[in-house]
Copies of this chain bind each other. A is one copy, B any other.
Amino acid sequence: MPDEDRLYQSLKRAILEQRLPPGTRLRELQLAELYGVKRGTVRTALTRLSQDRLIRHRPHAGAQVARPDAGEARDLFATRRILESAVVRMLAGRIDADGLRALRRLLDEEQQAYRQQRPRDGLRLSVQFHAELARMTGNRVVQDFIEELLARTPLVLLSAGPAPRSCVNHDHGAIVDALERGDAEAAERLMQAHLDELEQGFLQPSEPPPADLRALLFDDEEASGECA
């Protein structure tokens, strides 16, 4: 079933890249036509996304991209602090030269993307940095949890304040330095501060009008958008 997985991955990625704002209505027939699949396929993909808490699925009311409230945002960031602190604690000192090189390469690409006004790529690389840290622990369970939280993070950010968040001054570099020194405490502290900063980027709620889907969904390889 490559069809269903394609759809699932595509929607998940669209949410992760902040192309699908919270509250966006997802109509089965519309998605089926857009992706050239049957409605049943759409249905199971939506079931899976619902289980991931990325969409809300109320009986007979259809599916819409999840719109987490402030409480969920708080809980989600608290959980990220717990898990990602543990990740850097595990990694400190134990990471090898190849790993450090890979992380620094991501850092470079990320900063370059932001400098060149490609904030979408920047966001993607920033997320990838966190995912890569989790992957390096070798703990698949932690990795899966963190990836789930990474996918939900754009939703809590966009639900809380309007637009282009996560253009924070990236202190990812300092974390890598601490990892290289084997300074677990500093790495933990820096990671927590980093996540605090991200969380504090909150603003007052707003209501973004859900636009047409086609442009949002089939943008997988395009770059566009500005960064405030």
Contacts and interface: CB of A to CB of B under 8 A. Distances in A.
A144 B75 CA distance: 11
Contacts of A145: 79, 145
| Most B C-beta atoms less than 10 A away, residue of A1, A43, A52, A75 | A75
A168 interface: no
B51 A141 contact: no
Interface in A20-75: 43-44, 47-48, 51-53, 59, 71-72, 75
A102 interface: no
A58 to B, nearest CB: 10
A1 B59 contact: yes
A83 B76 CA distance: 13
A90 to B, nearest CB: 9
A72 B141 CA distance: 7
Given A47-B47, A75-B140, 6 more contacts: A71-B140, A82-B83, A82-B86, A82-B142, A141-B149, A145-B145
Contacts of A83: 82-83
A227 interface: no
B75 A141 contact: yes
A206 B141 CA distance: 24
Nearest to A50: B48
A82 B149 CA distance: 16
Interface of A: 1, 43-44, 47-48, 51-53, 59, 71-72, 75-76, 78-79, 82-83, 86, 138-142, 144-145, 149
B51 A142 contact: no
B75 A139 contact: yes
Contact of A72 (B43, B72, B140): B140
Contact of A142 (B71, B79, B86): B79
A185 to B, nearest CB: 16
Top 5 A-B pairs, shortest CB-CB distance? A51-B51, A75-B141, A82-B86, A79-B141, A75-B139
| Most B C-beta atoms less than 10 A away, residue of A43, A72, A82 | A82
10 contacts: A1-B59, A44-B47, A47-B48, A48-B48, A53-B144, A75-B138, A75-B141, A78-B142, A79-B139, A79-B145
